[in-house]
Structure 1
């Protein structure tokens, strides 16, 4: 019996020692560490915010401009390669034609190539040529049958210019195979440069293949102009060397985790200062539209580099004194909160733990030291009553000391008081201090870049519609030789397989009869072909329908009609760093967008509608892009509008692309200071909520539950077994009360045994 009692006491002592690893101490210790770390961060990062002549927002904008150039060049090159391959496929599917006729058909549909030629593969004889002379001697005809034999390649002309040669095979039964060759310049289609910007494309050796926006020094008149042009040229070469080194990274490791956006390698560059202006720029590699994919253009290993000169305007916001004051205030407030938790919650609970263990071991000589406040005071009073009961006093208030009076100040009140103290430090940081008001300085370069990027995006949408219409013209010229619907359908299916821009493609007769079709249900059935090349069909549906029409030669007005997928247009509008983007028609109605929108609705603000009208669409002026900075009671917004300019089938639509974004999302010193301040306040709120919530769940709730059990036990409840919830201080007190309950339950049996033994004696 004695041995089992010793084992039980040893088990209780071991569990009591284990409780010290958890319980009330970890949350208070973690809270102390978090407050110290936050005070250190506040001292170092809540003070002065400055830039080195250019804000990070300007550098990020140059990175986005290079990404736009890379996307435009990749799309243009891939489109050119696809068009040549598809045109050759359509020619192969038709009756054989002479080489001159093939090039004439190609030139009537597409005007994108600088030169085209057809040569016989076996003999190497040139059969026909159009445009500039092509360096056909660089073509190794023996390797054309290999897997990559028809892959596009870059060649250097004697003039120093670089051309991209694209190949396709013309193969008709009964004729020798012929090679169709087209040359393209490595130029940036539709990239708006604005003023004082240069852009170039470099190869894998860092050599500049083509450039725009840089004047040749020998063509300038004054010495100052020549000097500036030479400096720009030298800085562009320096940027090319830097971009070559940085572009060799893996796209995943080149960006911050979760940044998303451009799928290739991109970044910003900072160059030398010249006459008070700093050369800044960006770089971006040609990347496929899908992650992990590759295209013919991306296999060329090209990189786009941009450069612009911006006036240096060093900016300093805030003072180190603010960070030091915030850190000192947090140390004071945090010290009070931690001291309150230590003095009124942790220390009384540890005292209860020691007193309960002493009583459970049988040491009843000394009275229990009862804490002053809260649940600990009530449990301590119950322990004192249990001690007297173990000494022989009967249970109940009538037979012993008074039951402790309930105190109004409990552990929950104390934790709430600590939360108020910490919130008093955090709330002003989140809501009041370091607010960026109307005095925020937004660099003019940001507004200019918003305008130029919107103009580039507008041109890309226009070119995409023009390319779609050119495909329809090519299909129409081929279908002109076919009369059977199944043959027409085969051509239409081949076209939709090569291009995902159409939701429906069909041949429409003059009476509105659909002769052949592929894709979704034709929307123009029952109506004759439209005379407009590209139009927005009037509809009561919620989805806009953009329709392209190309008349079939020699078919009495019949036409090939293609309905563009609105998702295709929306995919063109997705650009990081431009905010909300909308494609609107000539009446200002929304046709597409990069975020949620309602079709055929007006723009969300009158000032945006005014901006569209002011861009030259409705006032009889030549269309031009516009950018503006709106200030409205501290709410600063950057907006830009760019109408369709240039020729082509889509040039007459009168559409515009509009973009706007809040300036609060820019990396400007005033906003950086505000964001840091808000972040510090949120960290304080989060840390306090986490640690105090942890303390409430792990300690306070079990302690409140134990209070009722202890008072019931002191009032005479000997049947309710007390089970500890956790192996911590509260659990140790619970186990001590359970041992006391067992001792009190055994007292009557012990007294009965003593009386029986005395009677026998």
Structure 2
């Protein structure tokens, strides 16, 4: 009631007090929540910028020495693979020499020893000049893939099934004339590829289809990237080489080398192609990029911890107090104000609870 001396007037609503059923909470703006959210977003943006920005402003040319080193590694892998294939010729030549001078030994025993002591063969067979199998060891192999020749030879079977097949053949002369044929295990073809170093190294046949790789692959799948297919063609026509290619906005060092032999009968058209993305290269600023990436992750983790703690300890209790005060201001005194802490916010909550109980007693 507004009281004036001398005359009585009807009470009128105070212009400074909201009408019944309204409070100043209708105009309440959660400044604390807004500042909390703004701070969290700012620090997260800083973390993302710190982690990703170096990729754009720490750009540098890939040194020629890096490409040359990758080319040398790829050529080394190709040479090692050829040596592994040539070792098949040496192994079968030793067996052929044993067959020529047989005493108590039998071809079956010699072949069994070969398969058990050399883990590179899936199976081997000793054939008569007519093609009849005289002895064999290991798994059954298709001896018709490699043609008869008077010199040691290598051959790669046509695409069939889910596994590449590479064969070696050595003639047997003398009274027990014939030939020896062995099939390499796929692992024997893939193992030397690791010498090419980091990145994905693929072994391709003469049709430029993948028959081995240092990472997961599907046998006889074609090369889907034009730069890799061009590298395979260059290996067949120009020999070993390397180049820096741009693939989907990222630089790759691509190197290639043919698997060659001085003997014409051992040329089967294999090639090794290595694809190494820029992220796998050791460049002068690589360590700086990694450190900034770790710093960005650290900032993000600290932001989540600190702002999560602020929300749980300050923002959420303040919101609950504001809601309770609004309920009491509107005359809703049924819900008790729960006090679970003993700091300043707890004191405010207890005072609100005392106010609520006082209003209940008056009513």
Q: Same fold (TM over 0.5)?
A: yes
Q: In 2 relative to 1, CA 728–624 (structure 1 residues): closer, same or farther, beyond 3 Å?
A: farther
Query: 2:145, 2:38 → 1: CA distance?
Result: 78
Q: 1:625 is matched with which residue?
A: 240
* Mapping 1:589-668, distance limit 5 Å: 589-615=209-235, 617-618=236-237, 624-630=239-245, 635-647=250-262, 651-668=266-283
Q: 2:10 is matched with which residue?
A: none
* Mapping 1:393-408, distance limit 5 Å: 404-405=25-26, 407-408=28-29
Aligned equivalent of 2:56, options 392, 412, 435: 435
**How far has the Cα of 1:512 moved from its partner?**
5.8
Query: 2:87, 2:65 → 1: CA distance?
Result: 32
Aligned equivalent of 1:503, options 115, 122, 127: 122
For the residue of structure 1 that corresponds to 2:182, the secondary structure is strand
Query: 1:706, 1:514 → 2: CA distance?
Result: 94
Comparing 690-699 and 452-461, the one that deviates more: 690-699
Query: 1:401, 1:539 → 2: CA distance?
Result: 82
Query: 2:196, 2:307 → 1: CA distance?
Result: 40
Query: 1:599, 1:624 → 2: CA distance?
Result: 24
Q: 2:148 is matched with which residue?
A: 531
Query: 2:185, 2:342 → 1: CA distance?
Result: 64
Q: In 2 relative to 1, CA 492–703 (structure 1 residues): closer, same or farther, beyond 3 Å?
A: farther
1:465–1:649 contact (8 Å) kept in structure 2: no
**How far has the Cα of 1:462 moved from its partner?**
0.5
Q: 1:452 is matched with which residue?
A: 72
* Mapping 1:276-291, distance limit 5 Å: none
Segments of 5+ residues of structure 1 without an aligned counterpart are 1-396, 752-761
1:590–1:603 contact (8 Å) kept in structure 2: yes
1:534–1:649 contact (8 Å) kept in structure 2: no
Q: In 2 relative to 1, CA 661–741 (structure 1 residues): closer, same or farther, beyond 3 Å?
A: same
1:450–1:578 contact (8 Å) kept in structure 2: no
Q: 2:7 is matched with which residue?
A: none
Query: 2:68, 2:145 → 1: CA distance?
Result: 45
Aligned length, in residue pairs:
339
**How far has the Cα of 1:645 moved from its partner?**
3.3
**How far has the Cα of 1:480 moved from its partner?**
5.6
Q: In 2 relative to 1, CA 650–629 (structure 1 residues): closer, same or farther, beyond 3 Å?
A: farther
Q: In 2 relative to 1, CA 508–431 (structure 1 residues): closer, same or farther, beyond 3 Å?
A: same
Q: 1:587 is matched with which residue?
A: 207
2:240–2:255 contact (8 Å) kept in structure 1: yes
For the residue of structure 2 that corresponds to 1:645, the secondary structure is coil
* Mapping 1:9-48, distance limit 5 Å: none
* Mapping 1:190-229, distance limit 5 Å: none
1:583–1:592 contact (8 Å) kept in structure 2: yes
Q: 1:570 is matched with which residue?
A: 190
Query: 2:55, 2:201 → 1: CA distance?
Result: 31
For the residue of structure 2 that corresponds to 1:636, the secondary structure is strand
Query: 1:531, 1:664 → 2: CA distance?
Result: 48
**How far has the Cα of 1:641 moved from its partner?**
1.5
Q: In 2 relative to 1, CA 696–739 (structure 1 residues): closer, same or farther, beyond 3 Å?
A: closer
Q: In 2 relative to 1, CA 647–717 (structure 1 residues): closer, same or farther, beyond 3 Å?
A: farther
2:73–2:196 contact (8 Å) kept in structure 1: no
Q: 1:163 is matched with which residue?
A: none
Aligned equivalent of 1:692, options 281, 291, 307: 307
**How far has the Cα of 1:461 moved from its partner?**
0.6
Q: In 2 relative to 1, CA 716–495 (structure 1 residues): closer, same or farther, beyond 3 Å?
A: same
Segments of 5+ residues of structure 2 without an aligned counterpart are 1-17
**How far has the Cα of 1:680 moved from its partner?**
4.5
For the residue of structure 2 that corresponds to 1:570, the secondary structure is helix
Q: In 2 relative to 1, CA 403–607 (structure 1 residues): closer, same or farther, beyond 3 Å?
A: closer
For the residue of structure 2 that corresponds to 1:613, the secondary structure is helix
For the residue of structure 2 that corresponds to 1:442, the secondary structure is coil
**How far has the Cα of 1:458 moved from its partner?**
0.8
**How far has the Cα of 1:491 moved from its partner?**
3.8
**How far has the Cα of 1:608 moved from its partner?**
3.2
**How far has the Cα of 1:500 moved from its partner?**
2.0
The superposition leaves residues 208-254 of structure 1 with CA deviations (integer Å, 9 ceiling, x where unpaired) of xxxxxxxxxxxxxxxxxxxxxxxxxxxxxxxxxxxxxxxxxxxxxxx
Query: 1:678, 1:655 → 2: CA distance?
Result: 40
Q: 2:136 is matched with which residue?
A: 516
**How far has the Cα of 1:455 moved from its partner?**
1.3
Q: In 2 relative to 1, CA 556–499 (structure 1 residues): closer, same or farther, beyond 3 Å?
A: closer
**How far has the Cα of 1:743 moved from its partner?**
9.7
For the residue of structure 2 that corresponds to 1:452, the secondary structure is helix
**How far has the Cα of 1:666 moved from its partner?**
3.0
1:466–1:650 contact (8 Å) kept in structure 2: no
